[in-house]
Amino acid sequence: MAEILPGVYIEVRPEALIVSGAVTVGNIGIVGTARQGPLGEVRVLGSYAEAREIFGAYDPFDEPETPNQPPVTLVRALELAYANGASTVFAARVTSTEAKAAGENLIAAWDKNTKARKASRDVATAGGTAAALKAKSHGAGGNGITIAITDAPPNVIVTLKLGGIQEAYTVADGNALVAQVNAGSVIVDATAGAQATGKPGLVPEVPLTFFTGGINGADATDADYKLGLEQLLNENAHIIVAAGQAAGPAIGTDTTDIADALKSHVENASTDKIKRDRIAVVGSRAGATLAQLTSHSVASDRMVFVAPGINTTDAASGKSVTLPGSYAAAAIAGMLSGRDPHVSLTNKTVSVAGLETKFSPDKLEQLVQARVLALEDRRGIRIVKGITTDDGAFRQITTRRIVDFAKFGVRSSAESYIGLLNNDRVRKALKGSINGFLAGMVDDEMLISYELDVTATRDEEIRGIAKVIMTLRPTFSIDFIKVVMFLG
């Protein structure tokens, strides 16, 4: 209302009531191969059961489902992550593809796939094919789809099943089947056959038939995993895992190394441009020796290198299997996800059955000196020391996570002030919002103390800059207890 009539006109300035939103640094982002599920998109998971429903069960580790290909990695890694504390997970499925051309979108790259295939089944009719059905997603999971056709004169009933999903279509010919399937099926897609006007029917002595030809494309390369990491770039994920992908010196024909791709990803995501502060957890190769583990080249305050491998029960075969450290990494990611940033993993137990290699204390000491997050068998499987591969200020994982938590919270507190007046009153309100967040970190024992000031010179006011200066004193975990005993 224009100020024409005499009266009291009130403007409420609520800046001092602005507080930061919910802050977390425990969401996992993971990429890996699977038997089914979407390609080129990220799915948010809340449980292991949901992961299996979307991406299918994993195949036996020692006897992969597709000959001459490795076993699928995603769901196996998720099983370990959820068993060790994971809650919210951003998951992206990858598969073997041709190289991605510059500027080409991810879906197009995956559609060029020459290895992963969708399961399919032709629906026969007199003289040819009435319709061709194809699974919605690439992978051997589609081989579990069944089709049955029964008479319902003058029509037929086409029944499709996959797990607990069943779909029935009453149709007169192939065209009708294609139309109904494409309008409502969650299992398959359909295209018209050469004899689309014919009545669908299968050989009478084979009333129930499985789809065939689905291939997982599990032989994904580092380049394929990088496509998946690109999908995670703008998601709210903080702990990154490339399922089943190892780092460290080559062993025999195993020469792939995901460490550089992960390091590039987390460092890029953690810039002020992307604002997704992250760490990556990567593990060792199968059969890695002490010399190979201590000569790894992983070096970053945002990278954690885990060794050795672990023993666990393979749900696909019911057998005990030995998994490389690249799967132990998923278990460690789950443990980080389930703990506050200031809680150290040092001396914590990992929910796995055993270790690939049991190192002696002197060898464990060498691993820790080489910045390896080593696992030992001591009253359960335990983490020797919760460290990154950094040899500087961020040696402890907790320091890296506390700082990332502080950055996340300060951004959350400050972003609501963008566009407000750059004067002393608003800067005091901004300081109050940040102060409230940091005081909460002190109360939660993430910080010992802090100092905070929010200022702007006249030149900075003109340029729209409010300067926040903080000194944070993070807490550190107890790694050593030195005891002096006096005998009297």
Q: What is the DSSP string of 247-304?
A: -SS-BTTB----HHHHHHHHHHHTSTTT----EEEEEPPTT--HHHHHT-----TTEE
Tokens of 459: 């030149």
Q: What is the pLDDT of residues 72-123, one digit of tens each?
A: 999 999 999 999 999 999 999 999 864 444 455 555 554 544 478 899 999 9
Element (DSSP H or E) covering residue 437? helix 424-443
pLDDT value at residue 108: 55
The CATH-assigned architecture of domain 120-210 is: Sandwich (2.60)
CA distance to 295, 365, 438, 479, per residue, from 399 (Å): 25, 21, 15, 14
pLDDT category at 280 given cuts 50, 70, 90 is very high
pTM as predicted: 0.89
Element (DSSP H or E) covering residue 327? helix 325-337
Distance CA 164, CA 3 (A): 67
Q: What is the pLDDT of residues 119-134, one digit of tens each?
A: 999 999 988 999 999 9
pLDDT value at residue 205: 44
Q: Which residue has the tokens 């990491």?
A: 229
What ranges in 61-214 are assigned the alpha helix state H?
74-83, 106-111, 174-184
Q: What is the DSSP string of 405-430?
A: HHHHHHHHHHHTTTTS--SHHHHHHH
Phi, psi of 184 (to 5 degrees): -145, -5
What ranges in 84-126 are assigned the alpha helix state H?
106-111
CATH 3.40.50.11780 assigned to 28-110+218-397 = yes
Average pLDDT on 6-34 reads 80
Residue 472 has pLDDT above 70, yes or no: yes
Domain boundaries, the chain: 28-110+218-397, 120-210
